[in-house]
Structure 1
């Protein structure tokens, strides 16, 4: 019996040593994951970071401008961007890829849509909706003292891009853009307006909890085509670009090209990372609605889903 116990202990020690060796990071330098300014991305970043820390890597979170982050990634000063939306940042990512130093490592599994959105109760005041042309005749229904008689469109933070001002000009819409300072401020205003049935027209995006929690619709603009953003001759205004809806499409992951050689297992994990709209929306609701901390929600997911994320590291 003593021999059996000794053998089992020895075997366990070998297995533990093998596991520890497998988990040893290829480099102790920190993998720098960017933090942008919306809840879903913060969760995605901390989930990926938590998984990499479980694998023995050093992780550093770096707040970064959503569109400007690729400059830091090209030089290796930033390592990973976990959410690059086809709707707003693919052009910036593709330009960085062409310049060198950045790699698109595939889709996250989430599908992006972001555009102008209104609560269903606003159709009574603007019955032609969701057709965008209705906004030409009922802009005053969306006005605020600072914009009257023009309508007020509440856009996302300026760093998100999106060409809203350009679209208003191209389609000759009697609206003014007011940018929310933060993601939290954007949805706090929606919550307040919805509870009071007050006028509101704003940027809503998916994956997110808002279009699930609140009844409403996206405005239907002319369908996006690449030429809309590149050729003024496309569309109804032959002298202006952006006279169409925002693009829809995947959410990608991007990394510094040196990652695959410096941290190959971590690189594989980022490539393998996958989530869906419903999953990230539910987690975001815990933060934005229930008041939990991003770090706590991400850590809870990592703790409960080892069977999922362990496969990313293989």
Structure 2
């Protein structure tokens, strides 16, 4: 998922059951159909976003008696659908399509901010701790070329591989490699799930790797990775995507609502505005889904049963 994802990353594993777990499969905005009284939530293609949406759907339906539908969508399509009213909410935005945010929030005013999710996202380049322990200087970008031979793969054309997730994620990595003059090549696994599968294989074999990665992410509790220091982020250093030569910023993740839904959506809209949880809570549900193989519905129900004191605060006040 900001400049990732800032999000808006093998084939059989890529979905990790998303299509089955969500109540609708990936669809273009034009195929969603007309809005009705169902609360429709767009779900970007990473498991943290799936965790948000699954818990929101569970509480909406079980506690507020609403109907909710989840639709997996890449960020650019989701923003268009949000503006048109074909979806009502995005619960985890990383600022990856800033031009659409400006167009729909500031200019057309068809989308409104729904508040902080409560989770701060961070994107960067990471290596496994066992590799950093053996070569401490690899954790600074200026030294990455020294290890290009160890990082190269059959897909990286003789250069060091920078493992990426989904091609739909908005990243600065191509620009960073070019502008920092690094002997690296981005190689896309195809999805977050496929990237995780590849990382686990590298760790099992104790092989070195360099990957685009982020927090929060449930895998961080299982795989110890160390961030590579990139040139310090300063305000505006990523303003021109072609000239980026700095690190990714920390990003408080945001919710957005269709403006009409925000006004007329009643208790459901108020609930989504109040929805706010911690990195640890999101990671727990995400791990149950992606790590333990639970369905998103079962994971959401389990979390809700064990965390009543948290979600009760999200309910509209009578």
Q: Which band: TM-score by shorter chain?
A: 0.7 to 0.9
2:59 equivalent in structure 1: 51
Unpaired runs of 5+ residues, structure 1, are 1-26, 233-239
1:206 equivalent in structure 2: 215
Partners of 1:166 and 1:264 lie apart in 2 by: 44
Partners of 2:264 and 2:309 lie apart in 1 by: 26
After TM superposition, the structure 1 stretch with the greater mean CA deviation from structure 2, 222-231 or 119-128, is 119-128
Q: Does the residue aligned with 1:223 lie in a helix, a strand or coil?
A: coil
TM-superposed deviation, 1:231: 5.3
TM-superposed deviation, 1:200: 1.4
TM-superposed deviation, 1:124: 5.7
Q: Does the residue aligned with 1:198 lie in a helix, a strand or coil?
A: coil
1:180 equivalent in structure 2: 189
Q: Does the residue aligned with 1:141 lie in a helix, a strand or coil?
A: helix
Q: Does the residue aligned with 1:129 lie in a helix, a strand or coil?
A: helix
1:244 equivalent in structure 2: 246
TM-superposed deviation, 1:288: 2.1
Q: Which has the larger radius of gyration?
A: 1
Unpaired runs of 5+ residues, structure 2, are 1-34
Determine if the alignment matches structure 1 residue 222 to structure 2 residue 194: no
Partners of 2:99 and 2:247 lie apart in 1 by: 16
Q: Deviations over 1:243-265 (max 9, x none)?
A: 01112120111110111222121
Question: CA 1:148–1:305 in 2, change beyond 3 Å: closer, same or farther?
Answer: same
1:19 equivalent in structure 2: none
2:142 aligned to which of 133, 141, 146: 133
Q: Does the residue aligned with 2:76 lie in a helix, a strand or coil?
A: coil
1:283 equivalent in structure 2: 285
Residue 155 of structure 1 contacts residue 164 of structure 1 at CA under 8 Å; is this kept in 2? no
1:272 equivalent in structure 2: 274
Residue 289 of structure 2 contacts residue 296 of structure 2 at CA under 8 Å; is this kept in 1? yes
TM-superposed deviation, 1:148: 4.5
1:70-219 paired onto structure 2 within 5 Å: 70-86=79-95, 88-90=96-98, 92-100=100-108, 101-123=110-132, 126-219=135-228
Question: CA 1:124–1:51 in 2, change beyond 3 Å: closer, same or farther?
Answer: closer
Partners of 1:74 and 1:245 lie apart in 2 by: 31
Q: Does the residue aligned with 2:243 lie in a helix, a strand or coil?
A: coil
Partners of 1:123 and 1:306 lie apart in 2 by: 41
Partners of 1:204 and 1:273 lie apart in 2 by: 26
Q: Does the residue aligned with 1:202 lie in a helix, a strand or coil?
A: strand
1:41 equivalent in structure 2: 49
Question: CA 1:92–1:166 in 2, change beyond 3 Å: closer, same or farther?
Answer: farther
Q: Deviations over 1:133-173 (max 9, x none)?
A: 11122212110123243001111201111121111111111
Residue 162 of structure 1 contacts residue 246 of structure 1 at CA under 8 Å; is this kept in 2? no
Determine if the alignment matches structure 1 residue 32 to structure 2 residue 34: no
TM-superposed deviation, 1:126: 4.4
Partners of 1:180 and 1:95 lie apart in 2 by: 32
Q: Does the residue aligned with 1:220 lie in a helix, a strand or coil?
A: coil
Partners of 2:103 and 2:203 lie apart in 1 by: 39
TM-superposed deviation, 1:274: 1.1
